Amino acid sequence: MTLAHLRTNMFAKGYTGVVQVEQLPRGRHRLSRATVEHSQRERLLLAMTEAVAELGYARTSVADVLHRARVSRETFYEQFSNKEACFLAAYDAAASIVAKAMGDSLGSGDLPDGTEERIELILNRYLSTLASEPAVARAFLVEVYAAGPAALARRVEVQQRFVDLVAGIAGATDERQRFACEALVAGVSGLVTQRVCAGRGAELESLREPLRDLAATLLAGVGLTER
């Protein structure tokens, strides 16, 4: 499942780089307050993602987000205390989408038997997801570092979730093996972030084979796969 499909449930319908969420009916309607607030929140999260990817976190203002989301300032502050809070919520949503995309690949029923093949599967899913969503990749791999200590702490938490996922698949049982999984996640993250930062996101898919070989070498070195 791609991020575009996941977004239908987690963000909005029809997002293609510009916020095009499903608008609520004008005038009187029978939608509940909870439904209205949920729609507004989705629009704000998508608008924050788009604005930060295009303008950078530091240059993005609440007004930029409001313009893209087509909601009022009052509505924004009913949902979020400030720009940082909105960005953190958008970051959490994006991280969950990427994690779900990777996790879905492992729950698909027809899985390869070997550890090396399973690691390759989630690496491919990670690269495909980010390559297909350049705004998400830019906002949450690059601009997160400009968003302050809370965002950096959140970034570390997400990275640890990916370490846990890899360690679980690889069957890491000691500190040395877990460190190899941590080094793999850090290496993947660094290489992907470097290319996104340089505007070379189109090259992400070309990392498939080099990262597969890196994973095999690191994990074989601590006895988790054969090499």
**What's the CATH number for 85-221?**
1.10.357.10
pLDDT at 14 over 70: no
How many Å from the N-terminal Cα to the C-terminal Cα in the chain? 31
**CATH code 1.10.10.60 region(s) in the chain:** 3-82
> Helix, strand, coil shares of the chain as percentages rounded to 5?
75, 0, 25
Residue 189: per-residue pLDDT: 95
How many C-beta atoms surround the C-beta of residue 227 within 10 A? 11
Among 27, 56, 166, CA closest to 106? 166
Average the pLDDT over 9-21 and give the result: 40
Tell me which DSSP letter residue 207 carries: G
Assigned CATH class of 3-82: mainly alpha
Residue 110: per-residue pLDDT: 58
Listed in sequence order, the residues at least 6 apart from 61 whose beta carbon sits closer than 8 Å to its beta carbon are: 83
Residue 33: per-residue pLDDT: 74
**In the block, residue with structure tokens 């690269």:** 127
Residue 4: per-residue pLDDT: 44
pLDDT at 226 over 80: no
* CA–CA dist 200, 138 (Å, integer): 11
Residue 73: per-residue pLDDT: 96
Among 166, 165, 159, 146, CA closest to 218? 166
Helix (H, G, I), strand (E, B) or coil at 113: coil
* pLDDT tens readout for residues 88-132: 999 998 888 888 877 766 665 555 678 888 899 889 989 998 998
* CA–CA dist 112, 118 (Å, integer): 6
Helix (H, G, I), strand (E, B) or coil at 145: helix
**CATH code 1.10.357.10 region(s) in the chain:** 85-221
Helix (H, G, I), strand (E, B) or coil at 183: helix
The residue ranking higher by pLDDT, 92 or 37, is: 92
Average the pLDDT over 197-210 and give the result: 93
pLDDT at 5 over 50: no
Q: What is the pTM of this model?
A: 0.81
* CA–CA dist 24, 44 (Å, integer): 14
pLDDT at 207 over 70: yes
Give the pLDDT band (50/70/90) at residue 227. Answer: low
Listed in sequence order, the residues at least 6 apart from 7 whose beta carbon sits closer than 8 Å to its beta carbon are: 13, 15, 97
Residue 9: per-residue pLDDT: 44
Structure tokens at 105: 């690949």
**In the block, residue with structure tokens 């979730």:** 161
Q: Tell me, rounded to whole angstroms, the distance of Cα 207 from its chain centroid.
A: 18
Residue 41: per-residue pLDDT: 92
Residue 16: per-residue pLDDT: 37
Helix (H, G, I), strand (E, B) or coil at 72: coil
Residue 56: per-residue pLDDT: 96
